[in-house]
Amino acid sequence: MTCDFIQLANSGVQQLRPYQPGKPIEELQRELGVRDVIKLASNENPLGPSHRAMDAARHALGQSHLYPDGAGYSLKAALAERLRVEFSQLTLGNGSNDLLEMIAHAYLRPGDETVSSEYGFAIYPLVTLACSAKPVVVPSNLYGHDLAAMADAINERTRIVFLANPNNPTGTWFNAHALDAFLARVPEDVIVVLDEAYCEYVEESHYPNGLDRLARYPNLVVLRTFSKIHGLAGLRVGYSVSHPQLADVLNRVRQPFNVNIPALAAAEAALDDIDHIENSKSENTAGLGQLVEGLDQAGLEHIPSVANFVTFDCGGEAEPVYQALLREGVIVRPLGGYGLPRHLRVTTGTARENERFLAALNKVLKR
C-alpha cells in the first residue's frame, strides 16, 4: 500500500486517538477466563431500566421494519410537558454524545477554538479536533471547573464553551452563583454547552438547573440523557434544550432517524416512571456513602462526588491496581487518558457490588 490514509484525513482527525470506553464484561471473560464479573466502569445504573421502559421497548420491536419518527414527536411532546419547555426548543440525539457532535459540526470551522476544563469529559476535545478546531483546556481548580479562568480564556476565536455539571470523571460540581457569574461574562455569540448528564443524582441545594437560565441566555444549550438514572445507556437517547433558533440549527445537521423506535418508546415510558427514578437516586445515595466509607477505611483519598461514581487516588500508579482488580473480576475505569494516572473511577453499584469491589480493592492493596 502506497497511500497513507491517516495523512489523507483532516489535520484535527490525525491528532485523535479512539475513545477508550470501560472494558466490557465479555472482553474480560475472553481475556482472563473470569466468569463472575461485575462492571463498575461506565457509570451505568445498577438497577437497570424500569419495567415500563422494557415493556415499551419490547412492544415497539414489532415496528422494527419501519423507520422511526424522524421528529421524535411523542417523546419530544412528553419532554416539553415534563420540563415545561417549548417543543421547538428540543433536539433528540443518539445519546448526548450525538448532540455534542451536532453542535461542533454546526458551529466550528477550522481555526476556531473551544474552551473546556482540565479533567473534563474526553468527548469535548474529540469533537473539536474532528472539526479541525482547537481545544483550549483550562487548568482545573481542585479537580473541578475554574469558571473564572474559563471565562478569561474566551477570545475572538472562541465559538463553544463546554461545561459539565456534575463533571465526569471527577464528580465535582459548581453552584448557581458561580454559573450565573460565568454566563454573564460570556459573549452572546459564543455557545455555552451545559452538560447535565448526571443532574438527577445531585442532592445539593445550591445546584443550578440549567433550564431555568435559558430565557436569560439564548446562547446556552443544556444537554441531558436517558443513559444514567433512567438506565437506558444501551439504547442511546439524549436530548438538548436550547433557544428555538439554535435548536433549528441542530436539527439541520441531525441525521435522519438518529434515535431508533425501541429507544424512543423506552425513553418516553422511562420519563413517567417516577418510582424507578426515585429508587435509582436512593440506591445511588446509599452506594456513594458505602464507597466513600470503604475508601476512607482503606486510607485512600477520593474526590468528593455528587454523581453516581467516585474517583479515588490509589496512592501510586493506578494501572497495576486496575489490572489486579480485573483478575478479581471487578471492572473499574482507569483515568490515565484524562491525565490522572494515579486515579481510578468506580461507579456506584448495588450494595453487594460495592461490597465486593471494596473487598477486592483491599485484597489487591495488601499484596
pLDDT tens, position by position, 223-260: 999 999 999 999 999 999 999 999 999 999 999 999 99
pLDDT tens, position by position, 135-161: 999 999 999 999 999 999 999 999 999
Residues 58-85, mean pLDDT to the nearest whole number:
95
Residues 295-309, mean pLDDT to the nearest whole number:
97
| Cα Rg, the chain, nearest whole Å | 21
C-alpha cell at 334: 482507569
What domains, with CATH codes, occur in the chain?
A: 12-41+275-365 (3.90.1150.10), 51-273 (3.40.640.10)
- pLDDT, position 7: 76
pLDDT tens, position by position, 183-216: 999 999 999 999 999 999 999 999 999 999 999 9
- pLDDT, position 95: 94
Residue 24: band (very low, low, confident or very high) from pLDDT cuts 50, 70, 90: confident
The Cα 227–Cα 242 span in angstroms is: 20
C-alpha cell at 222: 443544556
C-alpha cell at 326: 480485573
Residues 50-76, mean pLDDT to the nearest whole number:
95
Please determine, for residue 5, whether its predicted confidence score (pLDDT) is greater than 70: no
Are the C-beta atoms of 359 and 48 separated by less than 8 Å?
no
112: burial class by Cβ within 10 Å (0-12, 13-18, 19+)?
middle
Q: What's the predicted TM-score (pTM) here?
A: 0.93
- pLDDT, position 296: 97
Residues 79-89, mean pLDDT to the nearest whole number:
97
- pLDDT, position 193: 98
H helix or E strand, kind and range, residue 308: none
Residue 4: band (very low, low, confident or very high) from pLDDT cuts 50, 70, 90: confident
Displacement of CA 280 from its chain's centroid (Å): 17
pLDDT tens, position by position, 323-346: 999 999 999 999 999 999 999 999
pLDDT tens, position by position, 99-113: 999 999 999 999 999
Query: Quick one: CA dihedral 330, 331, 336, 339, positive or negative?
Result: negative
Displacement of CA 335 from its chain's centroid (Å): 15
Displacement of CA 285 from its chain's centroid (Å): 19
CB atoms within 10 A of CB 332: 27
Query: Quick one: CA dihedral 42, 11, 253, 69, positive or negative?
Result: negative
Residue 15: band (very low, low, confident or very high) from pLDDT cuts 50, 70, 90: confident
- pLDDT, position 16: 64
